[in-house]
Structure 1
Amino acid sequence: RYRSSTSLSRGWGQAFGRRRVGRTGDGKKDTTRVSDWFQLGARIPPRSVVGRQPLDESSDHSPPPSLSLCRTLKGMNSGEVESMLALAKEKGLFLMEGLWTRCFPATRRVAEILRSGDLGKVVSVTADLGFFIPEEVRRLYDLKIGGGGLLDLGLYPISWILLAFDAADFRGSNATATIHREGADMTGTVTLRFGDQGLGTAHYSCRAETQKETHICCEGGSIHVNRCWSAHAPARIVVKRGGSYGLEGGEGEVEEFPLPEFVGNCAMNFGNSEGFIYEARHVEECLEKGLVESPLWTHAETRLLHRVLDDARRQVGVAYPQDKN
């Protein structure tokens, strides 16, 4: 994975242009739209888009003009992120941190409900994401490449909190975590404060399975994002509306967002990876409109996320070699 300033011109983000230039099985030039890969199955490069791994740099493809979609996270720290944003601004290029969760229809529906004001002011948010990841997965414990549960998993529940509070009036954060013998964080909690009464708690772990759910509690109701993989690839929400002394409506209003059917013949690395098509289509829409940043995950939100991550690492005592630059 690329967590350095080279992300601006390298990595699987190179695939997300208006057209991808490559070769088909019979040697002919392929200029298929990225979103069309989903329907081509065998043409999808295994472990590139679907698996969120870097493209094979030896393959015959041309870098797309005027864009970069960087794999989450965009950089190791805020300094690297700022350098990429500055370069993109100087060159007039589209640049987006690949937080694919924001592009899912379920996530966009949550944002729509909250912005409508139907549920009133957001008061608290709890979100979590955790898996048991064995120590043999060395990337998770290698500080040279951004090892640790916070940058690998914790960013997703934090991003739900930023969505719920619209990243407005951020007042600060507190973090605590357990530390692996090699220095990377494993299980942790980050609490964010917004305004005078807004509070969000993000929990993550690479040592145990968690619920992988998000609860957004408002003055006039709540939104529950649940079911497997919902923390980063949601497909179902439950909305409850209530009065002063309790929520009404039983189990609430359930809204399902089925993932598009994948007709290819390559295996997914992770559940709900079919949802990457939403991000591909969103980037195409941004390019067609001539945008230089995504309205679903803005540069301002990217900056705030990395500010929170940097501060959390400082509080729990996790440092990367790149922090010295």
Structure 2
Amino acid sequence: MHPQRRDPEGTISTHTTGVAVIGAGILGTRHARVYDEFDESRLVAVVDHDPARAASVAAPRKARAFGSVAEMLDAVGPAGSGEVRAVSIATPDHLHHEPVVACLEAGVDVLVEKPLATSLGEAHAMTALARAKSRVLMVNYSQRWLPEHRRIEELLADGSLGAPALIESHRWDAAWVPERMIGAWSDKTTPIHFMSSHDIDLILHWLRDHVVSVTAVAHHGALGAARALPGRVDGYLATLRFSRGTVASLHSSWILPDTFPLAADSRLELLGASGAVFLGGSTRELELYTAGHSARTTFAGPSTATEVNGRIEGAFTASLRDFLAAVRNRELDNPASAERTLHVVEVQDAIMRAAATGEVVRLAAPARP
């Protein structure tokens, strides 16, 4: 733990950012631990509607625990001691809006867990408020920082694959995830929001293009029959058409049986005019095929959040580091800002509408793709 960061002369570093974490569940606990392990941040506070849970995360890291966002902001936010300059928000998917707005209004920079929102209206409102208040509002799309995903980004950028033609993305979770891991609010989110927000973000980020139309179907019944979770959606199949002609297909479901050895797995297939890549999520094996060349690479090292010598390393920590850099350098328009990733929520909303109506949903070009 690092309750205070000192420079070589022994004084507290002016580059240390005081951070609060809102939400003390699985991801919130990870946020708190990473900030506590960083040299460039100091964990000041943990907030949860269950004060005992907040204390269980805060106390081992010598941080303060609070039962509400308002209480935390009054005590250690800009209007209080001023110790908290930035927050991570790791509340359930559908409960991001209220804490984001409260923190932005208080003059605090925000990193919010994906998805930005399950409501398009709330996403637009939060984005507009961050712009009006000149605050950082960044979404934790940590999968961008995985080296295998960065390799695909490079292959597209340097033209190795030619113009991207067809993309197929599969993301599966075990059924115990909606049943037990997020059971209390699994009816307030969907696999498209909870899981495949990563895939939509990656594809938009790689292509630098926008979706013009969406078709989708949903499946119900498996969770209700096998898991006594009536009303929950089992999964979606969606097709996204992009303005420059690329077609992407998404499979997103959370009904794998308990015998499946992982909580989650994924597979990505991308075919371009002159090459193709195939990536296994759990194997981290990337197959590359271009004219006259083929290669198979297995990525080692930290993945999303890997324990290395008693510290968490990987894409998750890289994302949080970039957030702290954006706060220090006032990079409001950073690549994972809410402004730049708003189209993810627009696409998610279109998938919901297409699945509900059975109709093609058409999207206008966003202000920025």
Same fold (TM over 0.5): yes
Q: 1:264 aligns with which of 280, 298, 310?
A: 310
CA contact (8 A) 2:214 2:354 kept: no
**2:84 matched to which residue of 1?**
63
DSSP 3-state at the match of 2:175: coil
**2:211 matched to which residue of 1?**
170
Q: Tell me the alpha carbon deviations over residues 69-115 of structure 1, each in whole angstroms, 9 at most, x when there is no partner.
A: 00111112111011111111111001111111112333223212211
CA contact (8 A) 1:38 1:264 kept: no
**1:323 matched to which residue of 2?**
none
Q: Distance in 1 between matches of 2:210 and 2:194?
A: 26
Structure 1 residues 37 and 211, CA, compared in 2 at 3 Å: closer, same or farther?
A: closer
Instruction: Using the TM superposition, give the Cα deviation of residue 237 of structure 1 relative to its aligned residue in structure 2, in angstroms.
Output: 3.2
CA contact (8 A) 2:173 2:265 kept: no
TM-score, structure 2 normalization: 0.61
Asked if 1:201 is matched to 2:208, the reply is no
Q: Distance in 2 between matches of 1:202 and 1:21?
A: 36
Structure 1 residues 36 and 263, CA, compared in 2 at 3 Å: closer, same or farther?
A: farther
Instruction: Using the TM superposition, give the Cα deviation of residue 219 of structure 1 relative to its aligned residue in structure 2, in angstroms.
Output: 1.1
- Which of the pair is proportionally richer in helix? 2
Q: Tell me the alpha carbon deviations over residues 221-256 of structure 1, each in whole angstroms, 9 at most, x when there is no partner.
A: 12222241x7xxxx553332126xxxx43xx14262
CA contact (8 A) 2:44 2:84 kept: no
Instruction: Using the TM superposition, give the Cα deviation of residue 211 of structure 1 relative to its aligned residue in structure 2, in angstroms.
Output: 5.3
**2:130 matched to which residue of 1?**
88
Instruction: Using the TM superposition, give the Cα deviation of residue 262 of structure 1 relative to its aligned residue in structure 2, in angstroms.
Output: 2.1
Q: Distance in 1 between matches of 2:213 and 2:136?
A: 30
**Superposition pairs for residues 1-325 of structure 1, below 5 Å?**
18-20=16-18, 37=37, 58=65, 62-65=83-86, 66-134=108-176, 136-137=179-180, 139=182, 142=185, 146-166=188-208, 168-180=209-221, 182-195=230-243, 197-208=245-256, 212-228=266-282, 237-242=286-291, 248-249=293-294, 252-254=295-297, 256-259=299-302, 262-264=308-310, 274-295=314-335, 297-317=336-356
Amino acid in structure 2 at the alignment position of 1:254? T
Instruction: Using the TM superposition, give the Cα deviation of residue 140 of structure 1 relative to its aligned residue in structure 2, in angstroms.
Output: 5.1
Q: Which has the higher contact order (CA 8 A, sep 6+)?
A: 1
Amino acid in structure 2 at the alignment position of 1:178? H
Q: Distance in 1 between matches of 2:174 and 2:44?
A: 29
CA contact (8 A) 1:143 1:183 kept: no
Structure 1 residues 175 and 103, CA, compared in 2 at 3 Å: closer, same or farther?
A: same
Gaps of 5+ in 2: 1-14, 21-31, 59-63, 67-71, 77-82, 87-107, 225-229, 358-369
DSSP 3-state at the match of 1:239: strand
Instruction: Using the TM superposition, give the Cα deviation of residue 131 of structure 1 relative to its aligned residue in structure 2, in angstroms.
Output: 1.6
Q: Tell me the alpha carbon deviations over residues 180-216 of structure 1, each in whole angstroms, 9 at most, x when there is no partner.
A: 5543321111110013631101111110268511111
Q: Distance in 1 between matches of 2:162 and 2:44?
A: 44
Structure 1 residues 118 and 136, CA, compared in 2 at 3 Å: closer, same or farther?
A: closer
CA contact (8 A) 2:214 2:351 kept: yes
Gaps of 5+ in 1: 1-16, 23-31, 319-325
Structure 1 residues 308 and 169, CA, compared in 2 at 3 Å: closer, same or farther?
A: closer
Instruction: Using the TM superposition, give the Cα deviation of residue 64 of structure 1 relative to its aligned residue in structure 2, in angstroms.
Output: 1.8
Q: Note the aligned Cα RMSD (angstroms).
A: 3.8
Identity over the aligned pairs, expressed in percent? 18
CA contact (8 A) 1:139 1:147 kept: no
Instruction: Using the TM superposition, give the Cα deviation of residue 33 of structure 1 relative to its aligned residue in structure 2, in angstroms.
Output: 11
Instruction: Using the TM superposition, give the Cα deviation of residue 153 of structure 1 relative to its aligned residue in structure 2, in angstroms.
Output: 1.5
Q: Distance in 1 between matches of 2:85 and 2:167?
A: 39
Amino acid in structure 1 at the alignment position of 2:180? V
Structure 1 residues 163 and 100, CA, compared in 2 at 3 Å: closer, same or farther?
A: same
Amino acid in structure 2 at the alignment position of 1:217? L
TM-score, structure 1 normalization: 0.69
Instruction: Using the TM superposition, give the Cα deviation of residue 283 of structure 1 relative to its aligned residue in structure 2, in angstroms.
Output: 1.3
Aligned residues: 267
Structure 1 residues 18 and 83, CA, compared in 2 at 3 Å: closer, same or farther?
A: farther
CA contact (8 A) 1:165 1:194 kept: no
Amino acid in structure 2 at the alignment position of 1:303? L
